Amino acid sequence: MSGAGVTPTPRRGPLFWGSAAAGWALILWGVRGALHHRVDTRPGQLVRFLLGGALAHDLLLAPAVLLAGALVARAVPGRWRAPVQAVLLVSGTLLLFTWPELRGYGRVLRNPTSLPHDYGTNLIVVLAAVVVGTAVVAVVSASRRPGGG
């Protein structure tokens, strides 16, 4: 049985290579901009920030997400597992993206417009909308399945 179970490697077409070239061009343009405007971008701090972010992602965030997914897979019944995982994934992403505003990192002294909103309350409202919206979709989806869910 020669070749049984072996899938051929997909060929990379012009769309792949064109988008790869465009992506690398954008990356190089960003690096050039960071170096050209080094007074504002502080390339050394930028490199430390990017490396720190990559390490934090690979050593902390990704394992935590995998562990949470495994715990949810064990604890939540099958039909509700995907909605619970979706809520946790979206909520975690929202929390990460709003963390700087929640901590007030962009606040400027004597400039009330630098962070003008109550980001904690807004985050709670958005998280509640995510939970309610996901619950509604899950219940409607379950009710449409054969057997009524």
What is the block-wise mean pLDDT of the chain (149 residues), using blocks of 10 residues? 71 93 97 93 91 93 91 91 93 91 85 87 97 95 75
Identify the domain boundary among 30, 56, 75.
75
pLDDT of residue 41: 87
pLDDT of residue 71: 93
pLDDT of residue 6: 79
The verdict on 69 and 88 lying in the same domain is no
pLDDT of residue 25: 98
pLDDT of residue 149: 54
pLDDT of residue 24: 98
Give me the amino acid identity at 144: R
pLDDT of residue 112: 82
Burial annotation 10-38 (CB, 10 A radius, 16+ → b, else e): eeeeeeeeeeeeeeeeeeeeeeeeeeeee
Residue 20 belongs to some domain of the structure: no
* Spacing of C-alpha 46 from chain mean position: 20
Q: Which residues contact 122 (CB under 8 A, 6 or more apart)?
A: 98
Residue 123 belongs to some domain of the structure: yes
Residue 22 belongs to some domain of the structure: no
The verdict on 83 and 128 lying in the same domain is yes
CA–CA distance, 98 with 67 (Å, rounded to integer): 23
The verdict on 56 and 88 lying in the same domain is no
pLDDT of residue 22: 98
* Structure token pair of residue 24: 């690398």
CA–CA distance, 140 with 149 (Å, rounded to integer): 9
pLDDT of residue 1: 52
The verdict on 100 and 147 lying in the same domain is yes
Residue 107 belongs to what domain range? Answer: 78-149
Helix, strand, coil percentages, rounded to 5, for the chain: 75, 0, 25
Residue 5 belongs to some domain of the structure: no
CB of 121 within 8 A of CB of 112? no
pLDDT of residue 20: 96
Burial annotation 57-87 (CB, 10 A radius, 16+ → b, else e): eeeeeeeeeeeeeeebeeeeeeeeeebbbeb
Question: What are the contacts of 96-99 at 24+ separation with CB within 8 A?
Answer: 96/61, 98/122, 98/123
